Amino acid sequence: MAEWIRTHPGTLSLGQGIAGYPPPPEALAETSRLQSEPQLHRYQSVEGLPELLEALRGKLARRNGMALGPDRSLLVTAGANAAFQQVILALCDPGDEVILPLPCYFNQDMALALASVRAVHVRGDRRLHPDVDALARAITSRTRAIVTVSPNNPTGAVYPGETLQSINTLCRERGLVHISDETYEDFTYGGITHVSPGGFPGASGHTVSLFSFSKAYGFASWRVGYVVYPSELRDAMRTIQDTFLICPPVVSQLAALGCLKAGDAWLRDRLSQVAGVRSRVLAHLESVPDLAQWPAADGAFYVHLRIPGGGDPMDLARRLIEQHRVAVIPGTAFGETDACTLRVAYGALTAETADDGLHRLIGGLKALRQASA
């Protein structure tokens, strides 16, 4: 996809899942400490800077209902993707299985492959929410975990609390770990609320919670995330982190601390901008209901389009770039093989680029459908 975009100048990307705004000024201000505190240039704690860990504990208690005691540990990581990889290495042996509801986040599929762990794909319901009964049927003696991503990439779905509770209970009853990816926790709309499974009563011993600074703080290249996990995995997680990184990059940790110091008002203002772009995107799509269908996109910054008669989604994505200069991600990247689906990302758009991009996308889909009729 990136190569197609590079070879077709002027292509407008609705593909990459990033925020369009930069981090708060407090992020860069905090990194100035590297000039006055030379000891920060040395290796630091494998788990993260103590002041960042303390700030994260406060955030987790206040916003996620997760008070950390001796039964749970906290680790700062090089993004939520690194956290996921490290959790898989701590939990699984080669040949073990991890269940991913479809459509799934492709980096997690790749992380399992790198660890020689089998990804078991389980189709969701018509809303593209996890089907709990189907998840239960997919469990075998080699299953180690069930993964949920809510708010979801690629669908934008926000899973109801009762669905997440059912999955969490299933994991407890079957001796599995519930890996809850909450990268998009800040992005919900229309009164929908995000639920953290780690906050459920009795969840601490079998729940892993992944978080990221990348999206909400416009912080993708800094690579900072964090993970809450059962303390029985602490030795393994520390060893893996030490092997990969020695310690999380200090400059990025300082900037992350600055993000938290910026306060909720800064974050709310940016999130309202994204919500405004989302409204424009949905208005464009709702004007052509015969062209595509999509489930409720109440979170993250994605709309997952099902294109009737669209043919091969990778070929469709290529033609949209080559002929109409607009890029989207084909659903095959997310494990979908039985329908033509496309992920539209709007987090990096402005009102103007949203209008331009959706005009290109809708015009392209119409033209390609007419050409194939």
pLDDT 10s digits, 71-81: 999 999 999 99
For tokens 């393994």, name the residue.
236
Q: Give the model's pLDDT for residue 44.
A: 96
Q: What is the pTM of this model?
A: 0.94
Q: Give the model's pLDDT for residue 132.
A: 97
pLDDT 10s digits, 48-71: 999 999 999 999 999 999 999 999
How big is the chain by its Cα radius of gyration, in Å? 21
For tokens 């979170």, name the residue.
299
User: Would you state the structure tokens that stand for residue 79, as one six-digit string?
Assistant: 């993004």
3-state secondary structure the chain: CHHHHHCCCCCEECCCCCCCCCCCHHHHHHHCHHHHCHHHHCCCCCCCCHHHHHHHHHHHHHHHCCCCCCCEEEEEECCHHHHHHHHHHHHCCCCCEEEEEECCCHHHHHHHHHCCCEEEEEECCCCCCCCHHHHHHHCCCCEEEEEEECCCCCCCCCCCHHHHHHHHHHHHHHCCEEEEECCCCCCECCCCCCCCHHHCCCCCCCEEEEEECCCCCCCHHHCCEEEEEEHHHHHHHHHHHHHHCCCCCHHHHHHHHHHHHCCHHHHHHHHHHHHHHHHHHHHHHHCCCCCCECCCCCECCEEEEECCCCCCHHHHHHHHHHHHCEECEEHHHHCCCCCCEEEEECCCCCHHHHHHHHHHHHHHHHHHHHHHC
For tokens 């052509």, name the residue.
288
Domain 25-261: which topology?
Aspartate Aminotransferase; domain 2 (3.40.640)
User: Would you state the structure tokens that stand for residue 87, as one six-digit string?
Assistant: 């959790």
C-beta separation of 23 from 31 below 8 A: no
Q: Give the model's pLDDT for residue 284.
A: 96
Rounded distance, CA 305 to CA 339, Å? 10
Q: Which amino acid is at 348?
A: A
User: Would you state the structure tokens that stand for residue 241, as one six-digit string?
Assistant: 């982190």
Q: Of the CATH numbers 3.90.1150.10, 3.40.50.300, 3.40.109.10, 3.40.50.720, which one belongs to the domain with range 2-22+265-372?
A: 3.90.1150.10
pLDDT per residue of the chain (373 residues) written in tens, 0 to 9: 889 999 999 999 998 899 999 999 999 999 999 999 999 999 999 999 999 999 999 999 999 999 999 999 999 999 999 999 999 999 999 999 999 999 999 999 999 999 999 999 999 998 999 999 999 999 999 999 999 999 999 999 999 999 999 999 999 999 999 999 999 999 999 999 999 999 999 999 999 999 999 999 999 999 999 999 999 999 999 999 999 999 999 999 999 999 999 988 999 999 999 999 999 999 999 999 899 999 999 999 999 999 998 899 999 999 999 999 999 999 999 998 889 999 999 999 999 999 999 999 999 999 998 887 6
- Cα–Cα separations (whole angstroms), residue 175 to 93, 166, 168, 210: 16, 14, 11, 20
- Angle, alpha carbons 90-227-245 (nearest 5°): 65
Report which of 55, 20, 18 is spatially closest to residue 254, judged by C-alpha positions: 55
User: Would you state the structure tokens that stand for residue 123, as one six-digit string?
Assistant: 């189709």
Going by C-beta distance under 8 Å and a sequence separation of 6 or more, which residues neighbour residue 121? 100, 101, 102, 104, 335
User: Would you state the structure tokens that stand for residue 321, as one six-digit string?
Assistant: 């770039």
Q: Give the model's pLDDT for residue 373.
A: 62
**What residue spans define the domains of the chain?**
2-22+265-372, 25-261
For tokens 């407890």, name the residue.
172
User: Would you state the structure tokens that stand for residue 61, as one six-digit string?
Assistant: 């208690």
